[in-house]
Amino acid sequence: MSEINQNYVNGDWVQSATDEVIEVENPANPDEVVAKYQRSSTEDATAAVEAAAAVADDWAATPGPERGRILREAGTLLAERKEELTDLLVAEEGKAYAEANGEVQRAIDIFHYFSGKAADLGGTVKGPSATDQNLYTVQEPVGVASLITPWNYPIAIPAWKLAPALAAGNAVVLKPASAAPGVAIELARALDEAGLPDGALNVVTGSGSTVGSEFIGHDAVDAVSFTGSSEVGRMVYDQATDSGKRVQTELGGKNPTVVSNSANVAEAADIVANGGFGTTGQSCTACSRAIVHKDVYDEFVAELVDRAESIDIGPGSEHEMGPQVSADELESTLEYIEIAEEEGATLAAGGGVPEGSEVESGYFVEPTVFTDIDSDMRIAQEEVFGPVIAVIEVSDFDESVAVANDVPYGLSASIVTNDHTEANRFIDEVEAGVVKVNDKTTGLELHVPFGGFKRSSSETWREQGDSGLDFYTIEKTVYDSY
């Protein structure tokens, strides 16, 4: 594919100021270049912010129902292109077809959900102390919002940031991840065709150090929303807050599933395997620690190993589990596997690169299970971002909660139990922003808040649902005497 995808700025598809190109490979077949994108400059990013700032007041003044109509129409256009978008997502990111198809549907649902919310934005009426006075609040957009999104959910995460930002009346600049920017660009295409005013959304491809830094630091930017690694997230937070901007960061996780001695072990193994091996483990909410009661430990390990060894690995278009997104991600996962073995963990399943003609050239790794894990091992403390599950044996419920909390992250956590008291104590005591009972750590509803504790989040603003709108609005209190 020789055509270079352009940036979307002020309603036009425009050439970057640079001649540099990002080539996106198919991670299942790296010799195949799926698409080319511009490696944009600081000047390109500045132009995008200035375009957003120029239209921000007009877009904010657009009635909420009209903003909602545009979002609804964009969602309908995405639905008409669902198969095309799924194929593009699989080709660029490597995700299995069923997972990619579900992610595209999530983006469609998000646009339709926030299309209705746009008409509901208002405020509250309060009783004044004075006579002859009205006392009420109104919600207004914050202004220009910068969105910096990751590659692992390349359409869902841009959608769940973009839809509430636009619904609330903000002008937006978006930098998608360079590894898989195609589907985010298609969001812009759908919104453009749906009638979004020029400049209300601007999309620029390029590096975080160039485009992302300008999107964070520019004086015209009022709010920054970032999803990515904890290390980069801390830098984003510091840069944004130093210049007085509103900021939310959603970062990494080291998510546990506790398996009680009252659990159905086969069901627990299904839950852990789905949570840890789904999306090739490349999810911030993926289960990477199974914390298992000693009474069911051996049985659970056998069940989990069986599931790991039965997973069908290959190109995402045709197989159950696709590749990792890049050579660097594969190398990192294999390095963590090596570290775990060096620290004394026992490799119970996987641990290497699969063999076969369909997987010989891609960034594939086997679903991996480690046992004999101490909680202070790196494999039990650090985010791997690959299909690797560490199984930790515990003696009772209290120890399971202590181990679950014994990490610097706190994004998602689950418990598999038939004990009602255990379930409720776990909800109360676990340090995580998302808590599930008898369910996998992955998978989120779009109409409830999402965010983490500790290093998993800035702990400032939640995403999705009404909380997602809160980040993109600011309240004004009105005293109207007459």
- Catalytic positions, written as ranges: 284
Quickly list DSSP for 52-109. HHHHHHHHHHS-HHHHHHHHHHHHHHHHHTHHHHHHHHHHHH---HHHHHHHHHHHHH
Residue 366: beta bridge partners? none
∠ CA 310-312-314, nearest 5°, is 150
Integer Cα distance of 164 and 373 in angstroms: 42
Q: Which two three-digit tokens encode residue 164?
A: 């509430």
Return the exposure string of 380-414: e unless at least 16 CB atoms fall within 10 Å of the residue's CB, then b.
Answer: bbbbbbbbbbbbbbbeebebbbebbbbbebbbbbb
Question: How far apart, in whole angstroms, are the C-alpha atoms of residue 234 and residue 408?
Answer: 14
Q: From edge to edge, which strands make up the β-sheet containing 133-141?
A: 125-126, 133-141, 473-481
Instruction: Please tell me what DSSP assigns to residue 13.
Output: E
End-to-end Cα distance, the chain = 66
Whether the CB-CB separation of 34 and 22 falls below 8 Å is answered with: no
Residues belonging to the chain: 482
Q: Alpha-carbon distance 346 to 376, whole Å?
A: 15
- Cβ count near 266 (within 10 Å): 13
Closest CA to 328 of 162, 112, 178: 178
Residue linked to tokens 């009661």: 293
Whose CA is closest to 169, among 52, 12, 72?
52
Residue 428 φ/ψ region, left for φ over 0, alpha for ψ in the -120 to 50 degree band, beta for the rest: alpha
